[in-house]
Structures are given as structure tokens and as C-alpha cells.
Structure 1
């Protein structure tokens, strides 16, 4: 006889009704359709080219970059060479081994110059010279220089008439033309040479011929001489220098002379400087046409 009871495990319906449902995971997205040709299965694959990489040192467009370090190095080397050339000391002057006669190209003046020194004619004294440059000659060796440039007696007198006694004191009263020019020359030399100090010498050798009455009431050469010390004016010559400043007057020309050297060369070059000053002379008595009415340089190279 059945009691109508059902087994515990059978016939019971889970709470919520119906059977338990299992969640289905979403399907993966479909692969995009190929945009290019599809390689059939089993066919060899086409090689894919490597990314374009540029060789820095082989690309012609970068040739300038490869040269840049060399250009910089060359520029530094050139700059260093220029600085060395500007600052390199001139060195001792050579002792003259003899003298050679020098005659200006316009035949206005002559002098004796050291044979083994470098010669530079100036103005009309040079072949094809210019009248705008004061005539003269410069000779150099190491730190030594001998130089004479010329003005004219006529130019000095013209300056006296235009500017009065303050410019050329005494030149119109029969006094020394050389002294008048020397006073002008000194102003320019002192501006150029630092620490300039000079001492007037009792006499000056001169071959120019002009004469004046000296302190002893006798005729003496119209020439003045000063010994000086200073500091070199150029980059090559910054140390102490020693030299002579002189002016020698003639009938038509007045020569302004500067001679200097390193202090260490002074004992050996002092007599050579005096020899050069004494050898300067007018080469012809007539006044040079290229210098008529001009005052020229008063102090060697426009000092």
C-alpha cells in the first residue's frame, strides 16, 4: 500500500522554478578580412623588407657633418697661428755687416743703409711711389728700425705763416729749422710710445749741409739729436726700447729720423744709428717737384 510519499531526492523543483541555466561565453570577434593578396597554403612566404635605416656617415646629404670637425679644427689652428704671429717677439737685430748706398727713386735724397737689413722705400722714394705718402726709407732687422721721412723747408715756412710761432717757433727768424720740426715730431712720438723719456744730445751728425750760428757763435749743422727710452709700440715689441730721435735740415729738405731697438741691442747698435743719421743728405740742390708746397711727415712714418 503506497503512502503517496516521494523520495527526498526526487520530484523536487529547485527554488526559482525550472532547471538551472548555464551562461554561454561570448564568441571571439571575427578576424578582419585580408586587405592584400592571400598566400595559398603551402606557398613560400614573400620576404618583408627591413625598415629603412640611414647610415649617418655614408649619406651624401650629411657630407657637411663629416667635414665639420675638420673645419673647426682648421679654424682653431689658423686663429692660433695668427695670434702667435702677432705676439711673437721680433728677436734681436742683426749687427750690420756693412752699408749700401741708397738713392731715392726721385733722386731727392740719399743715405747709407745696412747691407743685411730689410729695406722699404717710402712715398716718391720708391719706384712708382705715391705723392700722398711722405718720401723716405725704412730699414729693419728683428726689433731694430732705422727710418727717415722728409718734409720741405717751404712747407715749414708755409705752416709758420698759417699757424704762427706756436707751431714752428723761431723758424722765420733765421733760427733752426731742425729744432722747429723736432718740436712737432716729439708730440707724435710721445703719443705712440708709452713711457717716452728723452735727453737732448750736445751735437748731431749731419750731411745735409744747412748751417746755423750755434751757442759758441760759430756755424754748426742745423740738426738736433735726442736719446730716448720707451716701451715698444707694436704687438711684437712690448718691452723696453732704446733709440735716437733726430732732425737734420738742408737747403730744401728736412729729414725726421727715428732709430730704435730692444734695450739689450742698444750697445751694439748705438754707433750704427749715428752712422745712419750722419749719412743722410740731399741728393740734388733743386727742390723736388713732388714735394713742392707740402709739409710732409714730421716724425718718421707719420708719427
Structure 2
């Protein structure tokens, strides 16, 4: 990372998921000392506060296959313009969630930039469901597919009616739970998926190194989308959808350290921190540590 200005954007959204609480994620991460630690690393921190997000109690679900569609479109329309402005201003956008439906707006905003980008998506899930494949109707399970032009036109059209991703520069790391039809869609794509079995067999260093190679080939930088549920619930209990068997504390930090060493990180979002399910803000503190590792913090 050559640029020394990071712009923090909070998106307190939990409309994309059934389980409540991730709307408090941005506050929990800030409370865990994010801004002060980034400043100690030499970063100039611009905190833009939070996007206005309605609470579910003030809205109704009109379509059970696309829950809170209108609200999520409106939020991501706002977000994509804020992210695009950050890129235009030459700063690094750091988006705090909130559920992973915010990835729609983040990626749409990056796509408006003159710079090309690869994507590394750390997640237990593929987030590659569509209107036709979803079993829950929760839009936080769809952002990667939507960013690739698959899904409801109201969502794929945010930031223009075009694919926002380069499939050949997109990598998922840490997958261990996906719906059957979602798996099939991913197999038909050019997206590279590293499952937990791949991490067990290859080791995190080799997986991330290969991910960096794929995501950086012919691009100007890499966007990191980090869902805290990729980490084992023993280490990160406060997440929206915990699944046993995730990556360890040190594997997560090693991944961020290797990405920082690469110099390719150009933007980042950190999502699905749920303080209601957490233990003394443990997961938010872990999120802060991982962000700081990605932004250059070292053990020695």
C-alpha cells in the first residue's frame, strides 16, 4: 500500500439476513479501537460515519425470495457512490458492516473507478445465490453473483447494467457451506474457490499466494472482502451465520499479512460482526486486528 489515507464508511445493515444484530457491527469495530490503531500505524484516518439504514421493524417484506429488496437497493445505491468518490479522491475505502449485502454497493463503486481490480472474498459461504437458487431469500447470500451480473435487475443494475467483476481475477477463500445450486453456478464460472479442505491440504500461505497471483494478474489492485464467519466460531463467536470448522486466528492474520506484503490491497470491507452473539466484543477486536494486519501492522 503506497497511499496513506484510509476512509472508513459504516454500513449498519442487517436487512440482508434473518438473524438480527450485525447492524451494530460498525459501532463494535470502532469501539474496539480501529481508528486509533490505524493512526498508530501512520495512516491518516477519515471516518465518514455511517450510511442511514432503516431498521426492519419500520419496513415490510414484500417478496420472500428477495427480502427487503427496495431498501437494500437504496442503501447500495448510496454506498456505491461513496466508494466511487473515495477512489476518485485517491484514498483507500474501508467499509464496515453490517451484513454482506453491502458488497453489492462496494463492488459497484469500485467498478466505476478507472482502475481495474481483482477480488479476494474470505467467506464460509459462496454468496453466489440468485433469485432462482436462493433457499432463504436473504440477499446477503447473493452479492458475489449480483456483482457478476446474475440476479434481480434492480440489484445487478446498481452502478450500471454490467458485470462488475472479472471472473478470472476473483477468488473465494475458506468456503465450507454452500447450497447445491450455488455450487453448480460457481463451477460454471471462472471464479477460483479454495475450500477449507484446500487450506487443510495446501496451507494458508500457498492458498493466499495463489489467490494473490490470480487476483492481481492484469489488475491495478485487489479488493478484500472479509466475512468474519470464515473464522472458526471458537475464535469469532459474534458473527451472523457461524459454521464450525473455520480458519484459525493465526491463519487469518497470516492471510492479511501476506496480502499487506503484496502491496496490492486497494480497498477492503469487513462484514457480519454481530455483537449480540459475541463475548466481550471478542469478534470486533479480532476484526480490528485483522484490518490492522492488512494495513501493515507486524508482530516484529
State whether TM-score is above 0.5: no
Larger Rg: 1
Which structure's relative contact order is higher, taking Cα pairs within 8 Å and 6+ residues apart?
A: 2
Higher strand share: 1
Taking structure 2 as the reference length, the TM-score comes to 0.30
